[in-house]
Amino acid sequence: MPRFRVIEDWDAAYEDPIVLKADEEFWLSGKTDNWDVHVWLWAKNQSDKEGWIPDSLVRRVAGKTYAIADFSAIELMCRKGEVLDAIHELNGWVLCRAASGSSGWVPVRNLQEL
């Protein structure tokens, strides 16, 4: 598993982020964002939580939108100098685990691979 050193502090932007389960229907607002050349879409899940999801998570069938995989937009607060274990990289972000055991997404631009 790759390891990264945090080169710039990161604070989570959302306290209660959107979570989707594979095959769950959700709704897109039409709002998009380009994060370091990756497309993110503003979505709302069945619990009315809203947030950014990667465009690669979307499957459309008969006019409805579904998640192709489980996804949680939880971000990991981290500080410069911390070492994190990478779990998965997606759309300019890395899902990381801290030494404390907590995990979440950190922008790849805030990390340096060891």
Write out pLDDT tens, residues 90-113.
Answer: 999 999 999 999 999 999 999 999
> What confidence tens digit (pLDDT) does each residue in 42-93 have?
999 999 999 999 999 999 999 999 999 999 999 999 999 999 999 999 999 9
**How far is Cα of residue 68 from the mean position of the Cα atoms in its chain?**
14
Q: Which among 66, 76, 54, 68 has a CA at the least distance from the CA of 27?
A: 66
| Amino acid identity for residue 22 in this structure | A
Average pLDDT on 3-19 reads 95
Q: Which among 35, 34, 54, 52 has a CA at the least distance from the CA of 43?
A: 52
**pLDDT category, 35, cuts 50, 70, 90?**
confident
For residues 27 and 20, what is the distance between their CA atoms, to the nearest angstrom? 11
